C-alpha cells in the first residue's frame, strides 16, 4: 500500500478513497481493451472531469476546486499505484504539466476560454516540445511561427506528444526568431480544429501502451496572435519555470509505481515455493527486499520534502531534478528485481510485474533524461 504521510489531511484522503473507487469501476474493467487498442477511450476524460479528478487547483470561478497541489499528487499517486500507467500518464500531462502554463501565464480571457473545459474533461490538452532530431535540446526546435498581421502561421512537426490523438488544444513550442537564443522561442496555443493541423501515428511503444503518444504536423496553420502565452520570445523562461513541477510529478508517479512493484513482488515471493520453502525465506530474497524497502522509504521522504517546498514556492530546479533522477532510477531497480524474483513468470505479460517493468523504462527519459538531470544537478554542486 501507499504509505500514510503527514503531508496529507482529511480532504486529501477523501479524494484518495473516491479515486480508488473510480479506478476500480471505470478504469480496471476497460484497461486491457485500451492496452490492446493502444489508447484510452475518450469517454474516460468526461468521467474523470465529472468526478472532480481533473485539474483540482483551478479556481472555482473556472469550475475547479481551488485546491493546492497536494490534490494533484494524490491523483498522480493513486493512478500510478493502480498499475494503469497509460491513463496515469495522460492525466498527468493534462493536469500537472499543461495546466501550469495556463494557470501562471495565460490572460484572463485565455483562462476563461480553456480552463473550464480542462476541468470538466471536454477539452484535452497537450504540450508539443520534442521534434524529430531535437530531443532534450529545446533551443534546437525547428517548428516555426511567422507573424502575418494578427495571425501566426505555423509550420513544423512534433513527435512523442502525449495526448496527441485526443488533444483539443496543443501548447506548441515555436521558433519565432533567428538563431538559438532563448528570446527566439514562443509558446502558442493551437486548437486541433485549425486548418493545417494534422495528427500522425499513435506511436507503438515499449510500455505505457494505452498512453496516447503521437506525431503532430503543422502545415501553414493559422492561429490568432491572441493565442500566444505571455509574450513573443518568452517560451524558455516559461518552460524553465514549469519544468520543476513536471519533474516532481514524474518523481511522484515513479515512486508510486515502484511501491506497487515492490508490494506485488513481496506478496508473490511469500506465496511462491522453491526447494520446499517460500522464496521469501531465502536470505538473498529477504536482504534484497530490505534494500528496496529502504530505498523506497528514503525516496518517499525526499518526495514529500519536495512537495512541501513546491507548496511554499521554494522548489528549485535542482531539487526537482534530484527527485526525478532518484525516483525514476530507483523505479527501474525495483521493477528489475521484481521480474527476477518472479522467475520465468516475470517475463510473461499476463503477470502485472512484466507490464510494470515495461512501463517504467520511459520514466528515465521523458521530462528530461537522467543524464540531463545529472547535468542540471552538477551545476549546483
**pLDDT tens figures, 94-132:** 999 999 999 999 999 999 999 999 999 999 999 999 999
Where are the strands (E) in the chain, listed by range?
A: 125-128, 144-148, 151-162, 169-175, 185-191, 197-202, 213-224, 273-274, 277-278
State yes or no: pLDDT of 181 exceeds 90. Answer: no
Report which of 365, 79, 84 is spatially closest to residue 247, judged by C-alpha positions: 365
List % helix, strand, coil for the chain (3-state, nearest 5).
55, 15, 30
Instruction: Output the average pLDDT for the chain.
Output: 97
Chain segment 323-350, per-residue pLDDT in tens: 999 999 999 999 999 999 999 999 999 9
Q: Pick the catalytic residue from 77, 78, 246, 295.
A: 246
pLDDT for 183-213, tens place per residue? 899 999 999 999 999 999 999 999 999 999 9
Q: What's residue 235's pLDDT?
A: 96
The number of residues in the chain equals 381
Q: How confident is the model at residue 18 (pLDDT cuts 50, 70, 90)?
A: very high
Task: Kindly state the average pLDDT of the residues 20-38.
Answer: 98
Which residues make up the CATH 1.20.140.10 domain(s) of the chain? Answer: 236-378
User: CATH 2.40.110.10 in the chain, residues?
Assistant: 127-233
CATH class of the domain comprising 236-378: mainly alpha
* CATH 1.10.540.10 residue window(s) in the chain: 10-123
CA distance 48 to 37: 20
Q: What pLDDT is attached to residue 121?
A: 98
> Is 2.40.110.10 the CATH number for 127-233?
yes
Question: Could you tell me which of 352, 341, 331 has the C-alpha nearest to residue 259?
Answer: 331
Binned at pLDDT 50, 70 and 90, residue 252 comes out as: very high
**In terms of Cα–Cα distance, which of 209, 142, 133 is closest to 177?**
142
The CA distance from 202 to 215, in Å, is 7
What are the cell numbers at 126? 497537450
Average pLDDT, stretch 256-284?
97
Whether 246 is catalytic is yes
The verdict on domain 10-123 having CATH code 3.40.50.300 is no
pLDDT band per the 50, 70, 90 thresholds, residue 182: confident
Amino acid at each position: 500500500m501507499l504509505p500514510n504521510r503527514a503531508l496529507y489531511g482529511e480532504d486529501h484522503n477523501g479524494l484518495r478513497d473516491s479515486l480508488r473507487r473510480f479506478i476500480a469501476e471505470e478504469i480496471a474493467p476497460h484497461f486491457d481493451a485500451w492496452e490492446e487498442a493502444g489508447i484510452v477511450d475518450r469517454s474516460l476524460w468526461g468521467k474523470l472531469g465529472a468526478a472532480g479528478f481533473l485539474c483540482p487547483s483551478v479556481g472555482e470561478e473556472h469550475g475547479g476546486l481551488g485546491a493546492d497541489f497536494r490534490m494533484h499528487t494524490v491523483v498522480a499517486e493513486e493512478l500510478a499505484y493502480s498499475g494503469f500507467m497509460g491513463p496515469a500518464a495522460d492525466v498527468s500531462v493534462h493536469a500537472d504539466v499543461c495546466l501550469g502554463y495556463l494557470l501562471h501565464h495565460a490572460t484572463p480571457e485565455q483562462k476563461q476560454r480553456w480552463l473550464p473545459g480542462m476541468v470538466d474533461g471536454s477539452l484535452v490538452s497537450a504540450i508539443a516540445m520534442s521534434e524529430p532530431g531535437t530531443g532534450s535540446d529545446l533551443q534546437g526546435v525547428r517548428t516555426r511561427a511567422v507573424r502575418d498581421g494578427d495571425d501566426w502561421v505555423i509550420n513544423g512537426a512534433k513527435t512523442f506528444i502525449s495526448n496527441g490523438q485526443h488533444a483539443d488544444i496543443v501548447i506548441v513550442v515555436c521558433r519565432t526568431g533567428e538563431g538559438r537564443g532563448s528570446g527566439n522561442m514562443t509558446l502558442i496555443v493551437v486548437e486541433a480544429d485549425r486548418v493545417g493541423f494534422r495528427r500522425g501515428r499513435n506511436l507503438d511503444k515499449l510500455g505505457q501502451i494505452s498512453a496516447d503518444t503521437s506525431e503532430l504536423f503543422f502545415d501553414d496553420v493559422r492561429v490568432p496572435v491572441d493565442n500566444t502565452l505571455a509574450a513573443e520570445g518568452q517560451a524558455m523562461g516559461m518552460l524553465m519555470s514549469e519544468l520543476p513541477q513536471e519533474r516532481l510529478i514524474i518523481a511522484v508517479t515513479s515512486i508510486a509505481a515502484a511501491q506497487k512493484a515492490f508490494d506485488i513482488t513481496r506478496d508473490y515471493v511469500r506465496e511462491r515455493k522453491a526447494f520446499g520453502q517460500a522464496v521469501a525465506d531465502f536470505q538473498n530474497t529477504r536482504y534484497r527486499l530490505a534494500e528496496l524497502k529502504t530505498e523506497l522509504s528514503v525516496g518517499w521522504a525526499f518526495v514529500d520534502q519536495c512537495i512541501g517546498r513546491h507548496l511554499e514556492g521554494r522548489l528549485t530546479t535542482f531539487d526537482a531534478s534530484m527527485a526525478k533522477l532518484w525516483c525514476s532510477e530507483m523505479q527501474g531497480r525495483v521493477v528489475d528485481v521484481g521480474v527476477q524474483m518472479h522467475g520465468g513468470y516475470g517475463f510473461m505479460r499476463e503477470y502485472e510485474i512484466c507490464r510494470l517493468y515495461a512501463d517504467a523504462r520511459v520514466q528515465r527519459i521523458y521530462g528530461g533524461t537522467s543524464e540531463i538531470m545529472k547535468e542540471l544537478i552538477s551545476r549546483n554542486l
